[in-house]
Amino acid sequence: MEESGPIRILLVEDNRDFAHLVEVFLRKHEKGQFAITWRENGPEALEELAGGGAFDVILMDYFLPGQNGLEITRALQEKGITIPVVFLTVNKDFDLAVEVMKLGVEDYLVKEEISTPVLPRTILNVIERKKLRDQLTSLEVTQQRLETIQEMVIRITQEIRKPMDGMRTSLDSLTAVHKNDQMKTYLTIIRDNLERIEKKITQLKDLKTDKTVPYIRDIRMFDLSGS
């Protein structure tokens, strides 16, 4: 997995000594791969995120004072925060596993596993899964946009087909009358523009990628240069 910088982890753990151990073992895995920010409880973690803290994963003790991990995760979701969460627990529990799956928590580990390769491997896998989901979501949105664009172009084409055909017929008639006078130049310009419009409509109908470029101010336009 290629990363442009260290993996940013928000560690939420009320035990200072255990938090220190997590940092030690993660930094031993590969120097510079993980950047850890430690917060002692849910409110502090939420405050960190509200203040603009950007993280790739939240590593959180399930048993925290005041609010447990599930309650904090619900609070994150209510605020629209979609950073993947991994729980740290004292032992694996079936009921907790069910709740974790329902809430969409990515994974949970027994605290004894922090000294093993399981911890960094789990974090890397969680981030990779999130990356793949984001890519799939982006592709789905792009495909939906393309389908909407193509439907719209088809409706527009149906609306303007008759007048455009009428223009072409009129141009043919006028060109036959004005073969050798100055009007022929203007008729040629009109025909060229009519053909350009028809070509752009065909390109829009055959659009395979949702690519737009800046045009004027906040207005964007479709890039049909490669079509």
pLDDT at residue number 1: 44
Helix axes 118-177, 16-29, angle to 10 degrees: 60
Provide Rg for the chain, Cα atoms: 29
Query: pLDDT tens, 18-66?
Result: 999 999 888 887 766 899 999 999 999 999 998 887 899 999 998 888 8
What CATH number is attached to the domain comprising 55? 3.40.50.2300
Does residue 44 share a domain with residue 101?
yes
Q: Please state, in angstroms and rounded to a whole number, the distance separating the CA atoms of residues 72 and 150.
A: 43
Query: pLDDT tens, 141-155?
Result: 777 777 777 787 788
Look at residue 179 and tell me whether its pLDDT is greater than 70.
yes
Does residue 103 share a domain with residue 182?
no
| Overall number of domains in the chain | 2
- The reply to whether 131 falls in a domain is no
Rounded to two decimals, the pTM is 0.61
Does residue 76 share a domain with residue 34?
yes
- The reply to whether 47 falls in a domain is yes
Q: Per DSSP, what are the bridge partners of residue 7?
A: 34
- The reply to whether 227 falls in a domain is no
- The reply to whether 67 falls in a domain is yes
Domain that holds residue 194: 144-222
Does residue 162 share a domain with residue 72?
no
Query: pLDDT tens, 82-118?
Result: 899 999 888 777 777 777 777 888 888 888 888 888 8
